[in-house]
Amino acid sequence: MMLGQKEVRSVLNKHKKRDSWFLTDYSVNPYEGCSCNCLYCYIRGSKYGENMDTGIVVKSNVLAILEKQLKSRAKKHQYGFVVVGSATDAYMHHEETWKLTEGVLKLMLKYRFPVFISTKSTLILRDAELLKEIDKVAILPSDLKENLRHGVILSVSVSTMNEEITNSLEPGASTPERRLLILQQLKHEGFLTGVNAIPVLPFISDSEEELEKIISAAKQHGADHILVGGLTLFGNNAADSKQLYLNFLKRYDPSLIPKYEKLYGVNNFPPMRYLNELKLKAEKICKKYKIRTSILDQHVRTI
C-alpha cells in the first residue's frame, strides 16, 4: 500500500510540563495515523485525524529535522525522556518497511536522550540491542538520576485480557498474551518494563476480577510497574472514537450503552469519582501482587 508523505518543520515536541505518569518531557511521532486501528484511540476525533490504516502519513524528513532539534537541545543540556510514538504506535507494521522509528532511536543514541516507548507490536524486539545502548548512555534529567537509573522505559498496552474483545477493538494489534510475552523478553534483556492498562474499559474490564487478570499477568511476565487509566471518548462524527466505540458496544452488549451514557454524560471522560474508585481497586490488587502503580516508587517521585 502506498502511504502518504509529508515534510514537517518540527518533530520534537516539548511538553509544557513533564508527564506525571510516563516521566516524559518530549514526544516524537515519525508517522501520522496507526495501523493498530484501536477504535477507542484518543486521537480519533482530535486534531490528529482519523487514525485509520488507510490514512497513514510518513513524515519524510523526520530524521533530518529531529537531528537538528536534538542537537540544539543537547547543546543546552535540556535532556529529558522522549516518548517515541505518543499519537501512533512506533512499531506498527509499516515500520518494518520504513524503519523511521529505528532511525529515530539511532539519533536518540547519538545525542544521548532517554526514551519511553509503549507498544502493542512484536516489532520492538528488532531494536532490542539499539535500545540497550541507549539505556546505557542516555543522560537523565538531574532530578531523576538518583532514583531511576535507566535510560529506557519500555511498556506494552493492555485494555483487557479478553482476546475476543481486543480482536474487535484493536484489530491491527498483537494479542494481549503476545504483548506480555514481548514484555517478558524485554525484561529478560534487562530493561525497565511496565504495562499500561490504559484504557480500562468501563463495565468490561474495570471489575476487580478483570483488573486482577491484567495485573496478575503483568506480574507473571515481569512487569516492574503497571499504570491504570480510564477510557476517554471523543467526537460525534462517524470516524471519531466515541461513535466507533458505541458501535462496538451495540455489537458486543447493547445493554451497556445506557450505563455509558449515564457514566459519561456529555463529557469525554468518566467522572473523578469513577476514576478514584478505579485507582483504589488497582492499588489494592497491585499491593497483593507486589507491583508498583507508578514508574518510580511513590515515596521518591519528584513530580
A 10 A CB-CB count for 130 gives: 17
The confidence band for 230, taking pLDDT boundaries of 50, 70 and 90, is: very high
**What's the pLDDT score for residue 55?**
72
Of residues 179, 79, 190, 180, the one with CA closest to residue 129: 190
Q: Three-state SS for 157?
A: strand
pLDDT category of residue 45 using cuts at 50, 70 and 90: low
The closest alpha carbon to 229, from 205, 198, 260, belongs to 198
**Beta-sheet pairing, 24-28 with 31-32:** unpaired
Mean pLDDT over 118-145 rounds to: 96
Averaged pLDDT score across all residues of the chain:
93
Instruction: Express each pLDDT in 118-127 by its tens digit.
Output: 999 999 999 9
Least confident of 39-48, 54-63, 252-261: 39-48
Q: Looking at the 3D structure of the chain, how many domains does it have? A: 1
For position 49, what pLDDT does the model report? 54
| Mean pLDDT (whole number) for 26-50 | 79
Assigned C-alpha cell, 84: 517515541
Q: Which domain holds residue 126?
A: 4-300
Task: Name the pLDDT band for 303 (thresholds 50, 70, 90).
Answer: very low
pLDDT in tens, 60-73: 999 999 999 999 99
pLDDT score recorded for residue 184:
98
Q: Which residue has the higher pLDDT, 45 or 143?
A: 143
Residue 162 has pLDDT above 70, yes or no: yes
Tell me what pLDDT residue 84 has.
98
| Residue 107 DSSP SS3 | helix
125-132: long-range pairs with CB below 8 Å, 24+: 125/182, 125/185, 125/186, 126/102, 127/101, 127/102, 128/186, 128/189, 130/102, 130/105, 130/106, 131/105, 131/191, 132/189, 132/190, 132/191
**According to the model, what pLDDT value does residue 300 have?**
39
Write out pLDDT tens, residues 245-277.
999 999 999 999 999 999 999 999 999 999 999
Q: Is the pLDDT of residue 293 over 60?
A: yes
The predicted model gives 67-89 an average pLDDT of 97
Least confident of 20-24, 51-55, 166-170, 210-214: 51-55
The domain that contains 107 carries what CATH number? Answer: 3.20.20.70
> pTM, whole model, 2 decimals?
0.93
pLDDT tens by residue, 183-228: 999 999 999 999 999 999 999 999 999 999 999 999 999 999 999 9
Amino acid of residue 186: L
